[in-house]
Amino acid sequence: MGILEVKNVGKRFGGLQALSDVNLSVQENSVHAIIGPNGAGKSTLLNCFVGKLIPDTGSVMFNGQSVLGLKPHQINQMGISRVFQTPEIFSDLDVMENVMISCFARRDGSFRMHPFETVAHETDIVEQAEKMLTEVNMIDKRHMHASSLSRGDKRRLEMAMCLAQEPKLLLLDEPTAGMARADTNNTIDLLKEIREKRDITMAIIEHDMHVVFSLADRITVLAQGTPLVEDTPENIKGHPKVKEAYLGEAA
Amino acid sequence: MKMLGLSRKDTTFLLIVIALTLFTPILLQPFPEGSGLATFNAGYPDLMQRFAIFGIFAIGFNILFGLTGYLSFGHAAFLGVGSYSVVWMYKLLGYSVVPGILLAVVVSAVFALVIGFISLRRSGIYFSILTLAFAQMSYNLAYSVLTPLTNGETGLQVYTNDPQVLMGENSPTSPHFFGIVMNESSKLNVGGWEFTFNNGYYFTAIVAILVFYLSMRIFRSPFGLMLRAIKTNQTRLNYTGLNSRPYTLAAFVISGMYAGLAGALMASMDPLAGAERMQWTASGEVVLMTILGGAGTLMGPILGAGFIKYFENIFSKINDNMLHQWFAWMPDGIENFLIGVSHFFVGKSWHLTLGLLFMLVVIFLPGGLVEGGQRIARRFRSRKSKDDGSEAQTQPAE
A97 located within any domain: yes
B345: Cβ–Cβ under 8 A, 6 or more apart, which residues? B315, B352, B353
B157: Cβ–Cβ under 8 A, 6 or more apart, which residues? B87, B151, B271, B272, B273
Task: Pick the range with the lowest mean pLDDT from A73-77, A176-180, A182-186, B272-276.
Answer: A176-180
B186 located within any domain: yes
Closest Cα of chain A to B240: distance in Å? 6
A241 located within any domain: yes
| A chain contacts of residue B235, beta-carbon cutoff 8 Å | 88
CATH number for position B231 = 1.10.3470
Q: Does B347 touch chain A (CB under 8 A)?
A: no
Last residue of a domain, one of A102, A135, A166: A166
Closest to B222 in 3D by CA, of A103, A54, A36: A103
Over chain A, what is the mean pLDDT? 90
B35 located within any domain: yes
Which CA distances in Å does B112 have to B77, B81, B218, B254? Answer: 9, 10, 18, 8
Q: Does B351 touch chain A (CB under 8 A)?
A: no
B351 located within any domain: no
Question: Which residue pairs, CB below 8 angstroms and at least 24 apart, start in A148-154?
Answer: A149/A95, A151/A87, A151/A178, A151/A179, A151/A183, A152/A179, A152/A183, A152/A186, A152/A187, A154/A87, A154/A89
Binary contact (A94, B396; C-beta < 8 A): yes
Binary contact (A93, B232; C-beta < 8 A): yes
User: Is the CB of residue B290 less than 8 Å from the CB of residue B240?
Assistant: no
A129 located within any domain: yes
Structural domain containing residue B91 = 8-296
* Distance in angstroms (rounded) separating the CA atoms of residues B378 and B374: 6
Q: Does A145 touch chain B (CB under 8 A)?
A: yes
Say which of A73, A82, A120 has its CB closest to residue B7. A120
Q: Is pLDDT of B137 > 90?
A: yes
Taken in order B59, B62, B67, B70, the sign of the CA dihedral is positive
User: Is the CB of residue A95 less than 8 Å from the CB of residue A146?
Assistant: yes
Which CA distances in Å does A155 have to A82, A86, A99, A176? Answer: 12, 8, 13, 9
Closest Cα of chain A to B18: distance in Å? 20
Q: Does B64 touch chain A (CB under 8 A)?
A: no
Whether residue A43 is found in the same domain as residue A148? no
Query: For A13-34, what is each residue's pLDDT tens digit?
Result: 998 999 999 999 999 999 999 9
- The predicted structure's pLDDT at residue B2: 62
Q: Is pLDDT of A10 > 60?
A: yes
pLDDT confidence bin for A251, thresholds 50/70/90: very low
Last residue of a domain, one of A166, A181, A215: A166
A235 located within any domain: yes
B128 located within any domain: yes
Query: For B16-47, what is each residue's pLDDT tens digit?
Result: 999 999 999 999 999 888 887 888 888 889 99
Last residue of a domain, one of A166, A184, A212: A166
Q: Is pLDDT of B358 > 60?
A: yes
Say which of B220, B243, B254 has its CB closest to residue A118. B220
What single string gives the DSSP state of each residue in A133-199? HHHTT-GGGTTSBGGGS-HHHHHHHHHHHHHTT--SEEEEESTTTT--HHHHHHHHHHHHHHHHHS-
A242: Cβ–Cβ under 8 A, 6 or more apart, which residues? A221, A228, A229, A236
Closest Cα of chain B to A147: distance in Å? 11
- pTM exceeds 0.95, yes or no: no
Whether residue A15 is found in the same domain as residue A33? yes
Whether residue A73 is found in the same domain as residue A2? yes
ipTM of the complex: 0.91
Which CA distances in Å does B17 have to A33, B34, B57, B336? Answer: 58, 30, 17, 43
pLDDT confidence bin for B376, thresholds 50/70/90: very high
Whether residue A240 is found in the same domain as residue A124? no
Whether residue A104 is found in the same domain as residue A218? no
B359 located within any domain: no
A86 located within any domain: no
CATH number for position A48 = 3.40.50.300
Q: Does A94 touch chain B (CB under 8 A)?
A: yes
Q: Is A5 helix (H, G, I), strand (E, B) or coil?
A: strand
A84 located within any domain: no
Structural domain containing residue A15 = 1-79+167-251
- The predicted structure's pLDDT at residue B3: 66
Q: Does B168 touch chain A (CB under 8 A)?
A: no
Binary contact (A110, B231; C-beta < 8 A): no
Q: Are strands A218-223 and A31-35 parallel, antiparallel or unpaired?
A: parallel
Binary contact (A101, B242; C-beta < 8 A): yes
Total number of domains in chain B: 1
User: Is the CB of residue B349 less than 8 Å from the CB of residue B343?
Assistant: yes
Q: Which helix (H) or strand (E) holds B186?
A: strand B185-190
Whether residue A121 is found in the same domain as residue A132? yes
Residue contacts between A and B (CB atoms, under 8 Å):
115
- The predicted structure's pLDDT at residue B121: 95
Whether residue A32 is found in the same domain as residue A101? no
- The predicted structure's pLDDT at residue B393: 42
Whether residue A118 is found in the same domain as residue A143? yes
B379 located within any domain: no
B130 located within any domain: yes
A187: Cβ–Cβ under 8 A, 6 or more apart, which residues? A152, A155, A175, A176, A179, A211
B54 located within any domain: yes
Whether residue A75 is found in the same domain as residue A110? no
Whether residue A177 is found in the same domain as residue A139? no
Whether residue A235 is found in the same domain as residue A179? yes
Query: For B254-301, what is each residue's pLDDT tens digit?
Result: 999 999 999 999 999 999 999 999 999 999 999 999 999 999 999 999
Whether residue A11 is found in the same domain as residue A60? yes
- The predicted structure's pLDDT at residue A235: 87
Total number of domains in chain A: 2
Q: Does B7 touch chain A (CB under 8 A)?
A: yes
